């Protein structure tokens, strides 16, 4: 298996990070897209082998009532608020995807992650909006991935991922992925962001990956100890190689 390990965001200076990991998931793109020029600079400063993934802009997945909207450079006008979030197939959301795609291309990213909020639950309307959105957008050569929050049963999330050709993004301590030729894990901290993973927990993940028949896996740490935990995980993986 080809394994790529990294962090959700840069917990250290980028020049230090590039020497330590082969992968990063850009978080800034969720809150406010950087300029394409900035994204090109990140690509050019990173080693040739380094890989970027990124989160899709929140305008696509989250409603304007989300507190994360406070990070936007330009607030959404009141009369347009119903056009955003929940994968609604509106011109505004398609434009948000176009701009996300431009950043992904500048980064030469292979995967874009759509993280839906816990308020976006299973139901005919939400699933149809996903079908309308993912069935209409340009993907270029990207793999698209979806991390459902809230009350989605893994099997139900897996079914719609298979239908829409999406990677099913999970925290492996909560459930296992049910769709996709590639594993994409986001480790958010057992019980919360401040969690520090034990060697036993990390060894369990190594065992799961060793038994997997998938040929490639992305393991992204998204806890307060991500810098240390991700390096310990790589050490445990290498010891089992």
pLDDT at 94 over 70: yes
pLDDT digits (tens, 9 = 90+) for 134-176: 999 999 999 999 999 988 999 999 999 999 999 999 999 999 9
* CB within 8 Å of 219: residues ≥ 6 apart: 3, 4, 5, 6, 183, 185, 187, 205, 209, 230, 233
Average pLDDT, the chain: 96
Give Cβ neighbours of residue 85 (< 8 Å, ≥ 6 apart): 58, 59, 60, 61, 62, 63, 64, 66, 93
Counted domains in the chain: 1
Residue with the larger pLDDT of the pair 80 and 241: 80
Residue corresponding to tokens 């990124």: 54
Q: What is the pLDDT of residue 192?
A: 84
Residues 225-241, mean pLDDT to the nearest whole number: 93
DSSP string for 127-191: HHHHHHHHTTS--TT-EEEEE--SS--HHHHHHHHHHHT-EE-B-TTT----S-SSEEEEE--TT
Question: Does 99 score more than 80 pLDDT?
Answer: yes
Residues 18-45 have a mean pLDDT of 97
The yes-or-no verdict on residue 217 having pLDDT over 80 is yes
The pLDDT score that the predictor gives to residue 241 is 67
- Residue 240: is its pLDDT beyond 90? no
Q: pLDDT tens-digit profile of 37-66? A: 999 999 999 999 999 999 999 999 999 999
CATH number, position 33: 3.20.20.410
Give the pLDDT confidence score for residue 150 in this predicted structure.
84
Nearest to 185 by CA among 198, 168, 160, 200: 168
Residue 95: per-residue pLDDT: 98
The domain of 95 spans 2-239
């Amino acid at each position: 298996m080809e394994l790529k390990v990294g962090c959700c965001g840069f917990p250290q200076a980028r020049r230090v990070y590039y020497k330590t990991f082969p992968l990063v998931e850009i978080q800034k793109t969720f809150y406010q897209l950087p300029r394409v020029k900035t994204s090109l600079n990140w690509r050019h400063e990173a080693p040739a082998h380094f890989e970027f993934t990124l989160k899709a802009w929140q305008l696509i997945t989250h409603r304007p009532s989300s507190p994360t909207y406070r990070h936007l450079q330009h607030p959404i006008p009141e009369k347009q608020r119903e056009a955003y979030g929940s994968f609604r197939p509106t011109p505004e959301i398609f434009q948000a995807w176009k701009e996300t795609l431009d950043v992904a291309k500048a980064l030469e990213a292979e995967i874009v992650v759509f993280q839906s909020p816990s308020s976006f639950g299973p139901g005919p309307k939400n699933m149809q909006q996903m079908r309308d959105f993912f069935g209409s957008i340009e993907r270029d050569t990207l793999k698209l991935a979806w991390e459902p929050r809230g009350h989605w049963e893994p099997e139900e999330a897996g079914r719609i991922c298979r239908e829409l050709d999406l990677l099913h993004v999970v925290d492996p301590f909560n459930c296992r992925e049910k769709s996709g030729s590639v594993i994409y894990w986001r480790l958010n901290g057992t019980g919360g962001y401040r969690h520090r993973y034990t060697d036993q927990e990390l060894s369990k993940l190594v065992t799961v990956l060793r038994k997997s028949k998938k040929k490639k896996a992305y393991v992204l740490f998204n806890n307060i100890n991500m810098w240390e935990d991700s390096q310990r995980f790589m050490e445990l993986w290498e010891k089992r190689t």
